[in-house]
Chain A
Amino acid sequence: MAEVLVYVDHVDGAVRKPTLELLTLARRIGEPVAVALGAGAADTAAVLAEHGAVKVLTADAPEFAEYLVVPKVDALQAAYDAVSPAAVLVPSSAEGKEIAARLAVRIGSGIITDAVDLEAGEEGPVATQSAFAASFTTKSRVSKGTPVITVKPNSAPVEAAPTAGAVEALAVTFGALATGTKVVSRTPRESTGRPELTEAAIVVSGGRGVNGAENFHIVEELADSLGAAVGASRAAVDAGWYPHTNQVGQTGKSVSPQLYIATGISGAIQHRAGMQTSKTIVAINKDAEAPIFDLVDYGVVGDLFQVVPQLTQEIKARQG
C-alpha cells in the first residue's frame, strides 16, 4: 500500500489534535508515515502509533528552533526523498502552510491549502475546500507531481487505529537557505487554560457590542460554563479589548466547532468567513436586522448584558 507522509504538529512531544485528524484522513489514502521534528520529537511516537502511523521519522537539531520555516522544509524534503510517498499532508497552521508550499515548489508538485475533507479518488486524493467566505464548496485535486495538501483543524474525527509505529531517525542536511531568517527571540503565549480556539468543540465570541475590555469577562464566564474557547471579532481586537490570537475571521482564525455563539457581533462577510461552517450557530444581538441572524439556528434579539449573564447562570444551574 502506498505511504502517505503526515507532518506532525506538536509542542515538546505533545501531539496537537489536528495531526491526529490528519492520520484519519491519511489512512483513507494509504499508510501514514509521520514526520516529527524538534525538541521532544521522539516522544510523539506512542500517540501517533495509537492512531495509525506505521512509522515515525524523527529529527532534532537546534536549527529547527533558531531559524524560521526553512530547516523544517529541508527535513520534510529528506523524509519525502526517503519514503517517496503518494501524498504529503500538513496541518493548516500559518507555519504548516508555508512549509508545505516550499516543499511543493522543491518537489515540483501542486499544492492545495485549507482542505476541510479528503477522500481517495481515481486520479489521486480529492480535497474539499470552502471558497469565498465559505459560500461555496469546491472539490479539487493536485494534477502535477505528488499531492501536497494542508488540512484545517476539525476536518475529520480522531480515530484509534493501533499499529507498530516504529521510530526511525531521519538524517537531515540543511541547505544554504536554512539559516536565512534568524529567530532572535521568542515569547511564548501564556496559557489561558481554555481550549485552543481552532480545536474547541464550542466557541463563544464577543464583538463591538461587548463595549470594552472590562466587559469581556461576561463572554469568558459563558465560555467557561460550557468549557468553550473565547473568540473575538476584528472590531473588538482592533479596539484592544481582546488579543489578536483570538480573532475569528478572514484575517484571524477560522473555526468550525459544534457550537458557535456570537455576542454583539454583526456578522460582516469577513467574520462569517471564519465561522460559517460551524455546526450550530447562535447569536445574541440587540439589532434584529443584524446579518448574523441569517446564519443562526437560534437567535436572541436583546441586550447581551442582560441575556448573556442570565444564560450563564441558567447553564450553571442546570449543571447543578
Chain B
Amino acid sequence: MSLRIVVCVKYVPDATGDRQFADDLTVDREDVDGLLSELDEYAVEQALQISENSDDDVEITVLTVGPEDAKDALRKALSMGADKAVHVEDDDLHGTDVMGTSLVLAKAIEKAGYDLVVTGMASTDGTMGVLPAILAERLGVPQVTLLSEVAVEDGKVTGRRDGDAASEQLEASLPAVVSVTDQSGEARYPSFKGIMAAKKKPVESWDLSDLDIEAEEVGLEGAWTAVDSAAKRPARTAGTIVKDEGEGGKQLAEFLAGQKFI
C-alpha cells in the first residue's frame, strides 16, 4: 500500500520583523525577511511522524503557493525530511486572497495526487485559519481540523480536537484534509544530513496554466475581498511605571480604583 501525503506550507514575513503593507495594501513580502511559517513546521512534523509510524510506502510532498523566495520554505521542509516539493509561482498570483489561494492549492493537490493533506492551523501573516476547511470543501473530502493529536491507520485518520467547550475525538476515512495545532508536538530541527540531502530532492515549478486556472480567477483583481485602508495603530501613550519599594501592590490598587475597576 502506498500513502501520498501533501503538506501545505506557507512562506511568511518574519513576525519578529517590522511587518507592513505594500502600497497596494497587500502584505509586504519584500522589505521583511521571510521564512517557513512556524505553524506549518508542525504540519511537516506530523506528516513525518505519520510516515515513520506507517507500514505503508509513504511519500511526502510539500506544496507552497508564493513568490520566488517561497522556495526557502520548501527547502526547509525538505531538509526536515519531506521527499519532494511543488512550488506554484506565477506573477498573476500577486494579491490573491484566501478564496483564490485555496483554488490554486486544491488544483495543485489534485494534480500531485493525494490520500492525505496536512496543513498548519493558521498562517502567521493572514491568521485566518480557514484555508483547511475551504480545501476540504473544494476537494469534497472530510475535514479533520485543529488536531492536537493525529494518527493514520487502516485508511482512517483519527485525532483529538481541543475546542472551547469540549475535547473531541474525531475519525474520518481517507482521503481527508487534516490541520494540526502547535499543541501537536515540537517540530524537529533539520539535521546536517537532512540539509545536504534536501539539495538533491526534486522541486517542481508549476504556473497557473499548468493548473488550468485563468489569471482573472486569482490575483488582486480577482480577489473576493478588498482592503480599502490600512493604518498603523497609534502607539500606546506612555504609561506610569513605578518600581516596587514595598508598596507596589497598593499603588497599583490606587490606580485601578482611580480607573473605577475596584
- Tell whether, in the assembled complex, residue B98 and residue A111 are in contact, meaning their CB atoms are under 8 Å apart: yes
Given contacts A101-B133, A143-B226, contact A135 B19 (CB under 8 A): yes
- Tell whether, in the assembled complex, residue B232 and residue A185 are in contact, meaning their CB atoms are under 8 Å apart: no
B2 at the interface (CB under 8 A from A): no
- Tell whether, in the assembled complex, residue A259 and residue B137 are in contact, meaning their CB atoms are under 8 Å apart: no
- Tell whether, in the assembled complex, residue B15 and residue A269 are in contact, meaning their CB atoms are under 8 Å apart: yes
Q: Which of these binds chain A: B54-62, B78-86, B165-173, B197-205?
A: B165-173
Other than the known A101-B131, A177-B142, A307-B249, what 15 A-B pairs have Cβ atoms closer than 8 Å?
Answer: A68-B170, A132-B125, A133-B19, A135-B232, A137-B233, A142-B225, A180-B143, A180-B172, A270-B15, A282-B252, A294-B236, A298-B252, A299-B242, A300-B242, A307-B248
B6 at the interface (CB under 8 A from A): no
- Tell whether, in the assembled complex, residue A313 and residue B249 are in contact, meaning their CB atoms are under 8 Å apart: yes
Interface SS, B side: mixed
User: Which residues does chain A contribute within 8 Å of B162, judged by CB atoms?
Assistant: 244-245
Given contacts A134-B233, A139-B229, A180-B142, contact A306 B170 (CB under 8 A): no
A69 at the interface (CB under 8 A from B): yes
User: For the complex, what is the distance from the CA of A109 to the CA of B162, rounded to whole Å?
Assistant: 29
A209 to chain B minimum Cβ distance, whole angstroms, is 14
User: For the complex, what is the distance from the CA of A73 to the CA of B134, rounded to whole Å?
Assistant: 12
B64 at the interface (CB under 8 A from A): no
A217 at the interface (CB under 8 A from B): no
- Tell whether, in the assembled complex, residue A111 and residue B262 are in contact, meaning their CB atoms are under 8 Å apart: no
B96 to chain A minimum Cβ distance, whole angstroms, is 12
Residue of A93, A143, A295, A315 touching B236 (CB-CB under 8 A): A295
Residue of B140, B144, B170, B242 touching A301 (CB-CB under 8 A): B242
Convert A112-151 into 0s and 1s, putting 1 for each residue whose CB lies closer than 8 angstroms to a CB of B. 1110000000000010001111111111111111000000
Residue of A69, A186, A245 touching B133 (CB-CB under 8 A): A69
B119 at the interface (CB under 8 A from A): no
B99 at the interface (CB under 8 A from A): yes
A309 at the interface (CB under 8 A from B): yes
- Tell whether, in the assembled complex, residue A269 and residue B250 are in contact, meaning their CB atoms are under 8 Å apart: no
Convert B4-34 into 0s and 1s, putting 1 for each residue whose CB lies closer than 8 angstroms to a CB of A. 0000000000011001110001000000000
Given contacts A296-B239, A306-B248, contact A131 B226 (CB under 8 A): no
User: Which residues does chain A contribute within 8 Å of B187, judged by CB atoms?
Assistant: none
Number of A residues near B (Cβ < 8 Å) is: 90
A98 at the interface (CB under 8 A from B): yes
| Residues of A154-200 whose CB lies within 8 A of B | 177, 180-189
- 8 tightest Cβ-Cβ pairs between the two chains A and B: A302-B244, A310-B249, A110-B224, A180-B142, A101-B130, A314-B253, A311-B249, A98-B133
Given contacts A101-B130, A102-B137, A182-B170, contact A300 B165 (CB under 8 A): no
- Tell whether, in the assembled complex, residue A131 and residue B142 are in contact, meaning their CB atoms are under 8 Å apart: no
Residue of A104, A112, A140, A183 touching B170 (CB-CB under 8 A): A183
Residue of A109, A184, A188 touching B166 (CB-CB under 8 A): A188
User: Which residues does chain A contribute within 8 Å of B52, judged by CB atoms?
Assistant: none
Given contacts A111-B130, A181-B142, A251-B181, contact A302 B243 (CB under 8 A): yes
Given contacts A143-B223, A182-B171, A185-B168, contact A137 B181 (CB under 8 A): no
Given contacts A126-B228, A181-B144, A202-B261, contact A186 B168 (CB under 8 A): yes
